[in-house]
Structures are given as C-alpha cells and as structure tokens.
Amino acid sequence: MAEHGGEGAGDGRADDLEITAKDGTIDGDPDGTVVVELKNRGGRSCAISGYAGVDLKTNAGSLSAKRTGEQAPSAIVKAGESTFFGINYPYNKSGGSGIRVTGVLVTPPNETKTVSLPWPGAATLPVTDGSGSPVKVGPIGSAGQGG
C-alpha cells in the first residue's frame, strides 16, 4: 500500500514499474472501469504523483483520456508494493458496432517511456460527435485501494 511522505524515495521510473491493467467494473455502474496497477519492482521506494498519460488504441486511431480533475495525492510506493488509478469509459449502448478498442498506452507521471498493454475493458466504445473524449483517467492512487 502506498504511504504519504517519506525520505530517500526516488522518482518512480517506468523501468522500475510493472504496469498492468484489469477490468475493475462494478456491477450496476453506469460506465466501465479499467484499473491500472503500477507495481514498484525496483529495489527502493519511489515517489509517484499526478496523472499518467493514457491513450486508447482503436480502429479509428488513438484516443487520449481526459483527466478527471481530482486532486492528485503524492504517494511513496515501497519496493514490491503498488499504487493504482482508474480509467472510466462509456459503454457502447448504441446498437451499432462502435469504435473497437485494441489496446491501451500508459505513460507514468513525469516519464516519457510508454508501456503498451492489452485492453481488458469492453471491446467497443460508442461513436461520439468529437466534442471531447468520453474516456477519463483518475490520478495516481485513485483506484484499487478502496477508492
């Protein structure tokens, strides 16, 4: 579990993080949720805060997730432990084929190295009018720990 504060922690670098994604949708929720885990596999604690960059790979090109605007707590993730964030997306209830999601690209905060992951959520998103991304990303620490 991530703790707040701490001394001697370095920045959480992509090379020290094992990044995975799984479906975290709760029955009855109006939208789907994918929970992304960032596990510290480095030899020391690391500081991670802010928002990860998230782009969905689709049959219509890349779709960038928009930040939710929630306050992003600063967290220290000890070696071998994890922190999480959520990606929320609308279900395709249109009856049409929608936009097919083929993967997700995750860039940890303050990093330039991107990790490509399989998309564990619903296979398609609804087609929108282009007035904004229907996909939202929460800050680091906003999911998976009772949040």
Res. 10 pLDDT band, cuts 50 70 90: low
Q: Is 59 part of any domain?
A: yes
Report pLDDT for 131: 61
The least confident of 20-24, 39-43, 46-50, 130-134 is 130-134
In a domain, 78, yes or no: yes
- The reply to whether 104 falls in a domain is yes
DSSP bridge partners of 86:
35
User: Positive or negative CA dihedral for 65, 111, 22, 81?
Assistant: negative
Q: Can you give the pLDDT at residue 5?
A: 41
Rg for the chain, CA atoms, rounded:
15
Residue listed under structure tokens 């939710």:
68
Mean pLDDT of 3-29: 76
Count of structural domains, the chain: 1
Question: Is residue 143 assigned to a domain?
Answer: no
Residue 147: pLDDT over 60: no
Amino acid present at 89: Y
Is the per-residue pLDDT at 137 higher than 80?
yes
Nearest to 48 by CA among 86, 88, 82: 82
Average pLDDT over residues 94-113: 92
Confidence of residue 11 (pLDDT cuts 50, 70, 90): low
Give the separation between CA 122 and CA 47, rounded to whole angstroms: 32
- For residue 5, is it within any domain? no
Give the pair of three-digit tokens for residue 2.
């991530």
Lowest-pLDDT range of 12-21, 41-50, 83-92: 12-21
Q: Domain range for residue 126? A: 10-137
CB half-sphere exposure, 104, CA atoms < 13 A? 30
| pLDDT reported for residue 73 | 85
113 in any annotated domain = yes
Structure-model confidence comparison of residues 134 and 65, the more confident one: 65
DSSP 98-141: -EEEEEEEEE-TT----EEE---S-SEE----SSS-S-EEPPTT
Give the model's confidence band at 9: pLDDT under 50 very low, under 70 low, under 90 confident, else very high.
low
CATH number for position 61 = 2.60.40
